[in-house]
Homo-oligomer: A and B are copies of this chain.
Amino acid sequence: MTASAEQLDRDDPLAAMRDLFALPEGVVYLDGNSLGAMPKAVAAEMRVAVDEEWAGDLIGAWTKDGWWLLPETLGDLAGAIVGAAPGQTVVSDGTSINLHKALSAALDARPGRHVIVAEAAGFPADLYIAEALSAARAGVELRYLAEGEPLATALSTDVAVVLLSHVDYRTGALRDMAPETAAVHDAGALMVWDLCHSAGVVPVALDDCAVDFAVGCTYKYLNGGPGAPAFIYVAARLHAAARQPLAGWWAHAAPFDFERGFRADRGIRKFLCGTQPVLSLRALKPALELYVAVDLAAVREKSMALTQLFIDQVEARCAGHGLELLSPRSAERRGSQVAFTHPHGFAIARALIARGVVGDFRAPDVMRFGMAPLYLRYRDMVDAAAALEEVLVTEAWRAPEFQKRGAVT
């Protein structure tokens, strides 16, 4: 099996990409679905942004170095990665803020309807924002779709907007964007997709699927840097009528005229708010440029092969040790992530990290392993499964240092 993995690595058309990323020696990094590894180009890019642009050009950098346009230029790059034609995506703020904008604009666009539908087992960060919005807006109801419940059962005539995660943060299950978007539209509602766990590893076709809104973060599989600003996509057909609840001066039609009274930009800039963190945006630029140049179909193919090899290896090596596969068994139904449950998942994840295999843990019992196809090798899957086998067989996870819960992200 090890020989086979080595052969797969030799034949991998993406193998050369690994050298574009900074990776610590001796680590198999399976947490790119939480914080992606650093593209090596970032180091030089940050020196330019700091020493030449900020220190050298000072206020002039906003125009001379294109800072002012970064939300749009980076937005179009992000858009290209998720199947959006230019002018419909901006990079700005965080996913939570952008989700608030999208849900709020969707509610405004469907007067007479008052329900937000979201997955009960969905991304908690998203649900908190939906909860706060429904609490703040009189009459708005947040309706939960139970795990496994068909979407159709929730689509009554009072639904204004449906929020779904393209890939589930916990199980890695991949939703089928085209038919689910169509079903939401058939019910007269608008569709918001969260792409946090799919952008960069799963081909996405927002325009082709006639999606209304999408949000997603750039610091997971897109390798944009810790907490890098997020993207928001709003279909062009919605721009004219949309109302943005956090419309700040960057959303103004003439921001430098300092007019009294807000006049919204006619395009996607309407979804901006205020001044953006330029240094974090500058770090994101080389990452997005790298992804735009990649064949996402090849990435998806390798992603499915990596997750399958990992599942096969783990199940062959670790049978009888209490692991249960939480992710879909069919590669077509999975994002680029494998999740196993185990009653001692927290301690096992810690023991793996101590052996240089970095995955993460989500309460109550889920171990997540994210596969970033641009910098992972087939033999990393074998090595990670072997480490997991060792931790289970030797019960290394019982060591006291692996029991203490802390702030593990």
Contact = CB atoms under 8 A, between A and B. Distances in A.
Given A50-B38, A258-B363, A409-B68, A96 B229 contact: no
Interface string A22-39: 101001010100110110
Given A50-B283, A358-B59, A260 B124 contact: yes
Task: Report how many copies the assembly holds.
Answer: 2
A273 interface: yes
A104 interface: yes
Interface string A45-68: 011001101111011111100011
B46 A279 contact: yes
A27 B129 CA distance: 46
B406 A63 contact: yes
A408 interface: yes
B43 A262 contact: no
A245 interface: yes
Contact of A246 (B121, B132, B251): B132
A100 interface: yes
A275 interface: yes
A310 interface: no
Interface string A121-144: 100110111011101101000000
B94 A274 contact: yes
Contacts of A283: 50, 279
Contact of A120 (B100, B257, B260): B260
Given A225-B278, A248-B125, A248-B128, A59 B94 contact: no
A226 B132 contact: no
A249 interface: yes
Nearest to A255: B407
A227 interface: yes
A67 B43 CA distance: 19
A213 B275 CA distance: 20
A73 interface: no
Interface in A260-281: 260-262, 273-281
Nearest to A108: B136
A255 B131 CA distance: 15
Given A407-B256, A409-B256, A246 B100 contact: yes
B275 A94 contact: yes
B274 A125 contact: yes
Contact of A35 (B24, B59, B363, B407): B59
A162 interface: no
B227 A277 contact: yes
Contacts of A276: 94, 227
Given A62-B407, A258-B362, 11 more contacts: A46-B47, A58-B358, A62-B409, A67-B226, A97-B248, A128-B251, A131-B262, A225-B278, A277-B280, A278-B280, A280-B280
7 contacts: A31-B58, A42-B54, A60-B353, A67-B227, A94-B273, A94-B274, A97-B97
